[in-house]
Amino acid sequence: MIIDTTKLQAINSFSRSESLKEVYGLVWLLVPTFTLVLGIIIGVLVIVWLERQISAGVQQRIGPEYAGPLGILQALADGTKLLFKEDLLPSRGDIRLFSIGPSIAVIAILLSYLVIPFGYHLVLADLSIGVFLWIAISSIAPIGLLMSGYGSNNKYSFLGGLRAAAQSISYEIPLTPCVLSISLSNSSSTVDIVEAQSKYGFWGWNLWRQPIGFTVFFISSLAECERLPFDLPEAEEELVAGYQTEYSGIKFGLFYVASYLNLLVSSLFVTVLYLGGWNLSIPYILISELFGINEVGGVFGMTIGTFITLAKAYLFLFISITTRWTLPRMRMDQLLNLGWKFLLPISLGNLLLTTSSQLFSL
């Protein structure tokens, strides 16, 4: 039997090339994911530092200043302290629910970052149903909070979990018609929504096309993040620390991180849906044409687009932080009345108005 060495060499080279392609594909999948996770971690640390500095400025006091220059490493020091604290477990609670709850809350919020475009071609998953995927994923996080409250075997924790679930449902429903209004006038893809706002610059933002929807979305986002004046699940005077009462160590740190992750993702979605995303505010000039993003080596343009996206998101963060020290906490009945009796009818009316305008424009 004669073996053709030429064919063997061709087969071996083909198999090597296929394996190299698989390795390259895996690397190109892991690198953006790792970069996104690293950026999210840095973003959360910056948000914690900004909140402490802005809060100190509003209250006319000195904020953190010892951990690093201007106290910028204070959040890292707090995280290190929580990491080395003892992880206590309730003796009569459900240990499985108690342990799984924080992880579900964090993972559900992290998955929302998959569909957020930080810049031109800087999105992990450009899906045609991106905004609806975010709504579906964000509905999972309250399940983790409810599991944590029930698994703690504590009346304050359980009431805090019930409040968190009720609040999330009450403000998820008004938020959905606002997203539907954007989808009717643009698209369900987050990238397409940003590109649809780019033609007229500042005046092409959905903020001007959907001012009612923006207001409802803004209020609902604050309530979804459980920020003051909507922090009823953690009302210290009534529930000690809500569903976090029995938690310590790294599990308590996961809730701490989840709240800021949720605040950041809400700010980014406000930027994408209403503030033009990564585009500049110059009419008739696209950032891709201005900085040459479509050309080879347009990394500088991508960096500029990411910077613009984050700058708009941090503007929303600044407003939410200052709101915390401006408005008093609402009662539970006031919270539910605002969601069901005011925001929901307004958002449905906005959806009806958008649908009518789309029908008459055909």
pLDDT at 295: 43
pLDDT tens digits, one per residue of 218-263: 999 888 888 777 877 666 656 667 788 888 888 888 888 888 888 8
> In angstroms, rounded to a whole number, what is the distance separating the alpha carbons of residues 298 and 293?
4
H/E element, 321: helix 299-324
Say which residues have a Cβ less than 8 Å from residue 351's Cβ, sequence separation at least 6: 177, 178, 180, 181, 184
What three-state secondary structure class fits 186? coil
Characterise 71 by phi-psi region: left (phi > 0), alpha (psi -120 to 50), beta (else). Answer: left
- From the list 97, 98, 79, 80, the residue with the least C-alpha distance to 88 is 98
pLDDT at 25: 63
pLDDT tens digits, one per residue of 291-326: 544 443 456 767 788 888 888 999 888 888 888 888
**Average pLDDT of adjacent 10-residue blocks, the chain of 362 residues:** 51 55 65 76 85 85 79 82 81 84 88 85 81 87 86 84 85 91 84 83 85 92 83 64 80 85 90 86 54 50 82 89 83 86 92 86 62
Tokens of 330: 């609402």
pLDDT at 98: 86
DSSP state of 286: -
- From the list 275, 100, 273, the residue with the least C-alpha distance to 185 is 273
pTM (2 d.p.): 0.83
Q: How many residues does the chain have?
A: 362
Phi, psi dihedrals of residue 68, rounded to the nearest 5°: 85, 175
Q: Which residue shows structure tokens 């160590």?
A: 249
What three-state secondary structure class fits 122? strand
pLDDT at 283: 52
pLDDT at 285: 52
- From the list 230, 221, 338, the residue with the least C-alpha distance to 273 is 221
H/E element, 182: helix 155-185
Work out the number of other CB atoms within 10 angstroms of the CB of residue 290.
13
H/E element, 62: none
